Structure 1
């Protein structure tokens, strides 16, 4: 799902959550869905949050100073607390007490962490080799990926059952993949193997100076320093579609059955609106407008749209967070997981970390 390095601006913050909460992923302390945005207590976070990564049903918070909190579903060890327990409130990952973490990523049931020394650690479900340890075992405590001990990892991106690591290379940054490979999400032909339990160099990106990677579901994206975007993996939801080859579907219900017929369309209702950020969950999306307002659309069964109900929405709808004028906030960021949403709003002076 999403991945990011530390370095966001610091300031007073509000953290809001809503949607699916039966695994504790909303950090409200209860195990229930929330149909409306819930303002979380500021005491849950010792320091301002640099970045959130939302997975299948767990969340990783990277704090200023490089410390890490996790909460939500822990049945596969993805929280990194040394057990298989879920957690309904943010809890420090004690393993990183003496580390400075700069990048985190939450997959469906696994997690990745990169330290300021360039070391990669993973934990959680390893049944497809997505932890990169050379086996199919799960880990409940972060374990260093030994394959990279002599190299420097800059970024980790975790998808549903696969992971990508971005490394510094002598001729430009290189991308390595591990985990499920059957849909081509590692950039490696899957006819040779359905999964890779040790990192393998992704083909076709070696000379492109990749600066950023992202993974979600069973697909992967890479951004080069020249601004070129490379995408590979599953094609069901249109993430890989070529506009010149796109064909219209007669019925929306055929989309899941006829995965080769993919439609790319402009999101309706946003003409003339400047968007600062877009976040994509498993089956819903959120955006932040220039004025700081948040809008959501898509699947709404668990209340992940924050509109007070469980109806799906085909067009972006405004989410009411508080009485405060959204323009009073310096920054607003939205993060989407599988059926749940987080928003962080900051106001007051900011300073670089």
Structure 2
């Protein structure tokens, strides 16, 4: 006899659920983590990533297929209609493609194929779909502007989108949608809306590894760990209409954006850093927080260490509208804090939390997670974890 190890995936969800975004088949909020039973997802292959929007979820499988569920009233689910769907349902594209990246905005969705094409659907009333109009689209439509260009990633904010292009001439970020707070980065002044992609200024000589968007914010992370942000000012600071670099003395590996804050993960020591966001307890008591070498971004917002982690290295971070979550490396424990009105912190109540609190998924000590990631929608949270299963076979 011998043993072979296989991996089984689990999806847990909690928080706002009245639009079906939790996948529990119950149109209600959940204050504790709920283990989902989703046969349609299991049969579609292993999930490689999830994206959570205002009230909908996108699941991307390892074989390039996409399933969506939750609120669909603007066509953001890509099912060809404008109805909510509490069950994961495959998204059908107008042409055969292998999807490699997905993003969920407030009421719109974006998809990138391995060939570098971009598809969008949902609310286009601010031009955030990039099709040259302000219409809703209920099924994914290819963004024709990027034909003959290679897009690698898309990031959808509340009413805008940004995409990352890779090419021989270097990396470029393009943006479209609402630009009132500077989140497009295409002008030195206020831009109401743009329905065709335009180049974001100030990143021409930067090699970019990832992009992010949420609310009225945008961000880009360079290969050397430099973080650039633009859009709505943090903590009441001025809006940035072009990308600005967070202090160059720090290097980051990950960024997660909320509506009023950013959560950052430093390289090397895996330290979680907060930028802005004192609404609903997203930041702990500022009087008791330790600043990061008294650093500020160029707009004057303080960078603060996330407290109460007892020196634990952080593996992964996520941010919703006004709540945050992270996973510590040594023990794979989930911690959440911030706005809790819908139970999105997973702590069994609807209270705001001023410091990270441990979220309990399961009491089953025999389940050993090999991989775990957390994703935050505007008022809900989803965790994807892989479990090592031992199965016997005959030699």
Instruction: Give the TM-score normalised by the residue count of structure 1.
Output: 0.88
Quick check: 1:272 aligned with 2:268? no
Structure 1 CA distance, aligned partners of 2:111 and 2:173?
A: 16
- Contact persistence 1:171–1:207 (CA under 8 A): no
Q: Work out which of the residue numbers 105, 108, 125 in structure 1 matches 2:106.
A: 108
2:34 maps to: 38
Q: How far is the alpha carbon of 1:326 from its aligned partner?
A: 8.3
Q: Work out which of the residue numbers 1, 13, 19 in structure 1 matches 2:15.
A: 19
SS in 1 for 2:191: coil
Q: How far is the alpha carbon of 1:224 from its aligned partner?
A: 1.7
Q: Work out which of the residue numbers 148, 151, 158 in structure 1 matches 2:149.
A: 151
SS in 1 for 2:304: coil
Residues 71-116 of structure 1 show CA distances to partners (whole Å, capped at 9, x for unaligned) of 0110100000000011111111122783210000000100000111
1:331 maps to: 371
Change (3 A) 1:125 1:326: farther
Change (3 A) 1:38 1:44: farther
Q: Name whichever structure is richer in strand by fraction.
A: 2
Quick check: 1:222 aligned with 2:203? no
Structure 1 CA distance, aligned partners of 2:350 and 2:279?
A: 20
Q: How far is the alpha carbon of 1:173 from its aligned partner?
A: 1.4
Q: How far is the alpha carbon of 1:271 from its aligned partner?
A: 2.5
Q: How far is the alpha carbon of 1:252 from its aligned partner?
A: 7.4
Structure 2 CA distance, aligned partners of 1:177 and 1:152?
A: 15
SS in 1 for 2:76: coil
Unmatched runs of 5 consecutive residues or more in structure 2: 1-5, 238-243, 249-275, 283-298, 391-395
- Contact persistence 1:238–1:264 (CA under 8 A): no
Q: How far is the alpha carbon of 1:44 from its aligned partner?
A: 3.7
Change (3 A) 1:274 1:231: same
- Contact persistence 1:292–1:327 (CA under 8 A): no
Quick check: 1:208 aligned with 2:209? no
Change (3 A) 1:25 1:97: farther
2:170 maps to: 172
1:134 maps to: 132
Change (3 A) 1:331 1:56: same
Structure 2 CA distance, aligned partners of 1:86 and 1:42?
A: 17
Q: How far is the alpha carbon of 1:228 from its aligned partner?
A: 1.8
Unmatched runs of 5 consecutive residues or more in structure 1: 1-9
Q: How far is the alpha carbon of 1:169 from its aligned partner?
A: 2.4
Q: How far is the alpha carbon of 1:40 from its aligned partner?
A: 0.4
Structure 1 CA distance, aligned partners of 2:28 and 2:371?
A: 29
The runs of at least 4 consecutive aligned structure 1 residues that moved more than 3 Å come to: 190-193, 236-244, 260-264
Instruction: Give the TM-score normalised by the residue count of structure 2.
Output: 0.79
The number of aligned residues is: 331
- Contact persistence 1:182–1:190 (CA under 8 A): no
Greater CA deviation, 102-111 or 35-44? 35-44
Structure 1 CA distance, aligned partners of 2:371 and 2:209?
A: 24
Quick check: 1:28 aligned with 2:58? no
Structure 1 CA distance, aligned partners of 2:216 and 2:17?
A: 24
2:325 maps to: 286
How big is the alpha-carbon RMSD for the aligned residues of Structure 1 and Structure 2?
2.5
Structure 2 CA distance, aligned partners of 1:341 and 1:194?
A: 31
SS in 2 for 1:61: strand
Change (3 A) 1:343 1:97: farther
Quick check: 1:86 aligned with 2:84? yes
Which has the higher relative contact order, 1 or 2, with Cα contacts under 8 A spaced 6 or more apart? 1
Q: Work out which of the residue numbers 343, 346, 355 in structure 2 matches 1:303.
A: 343
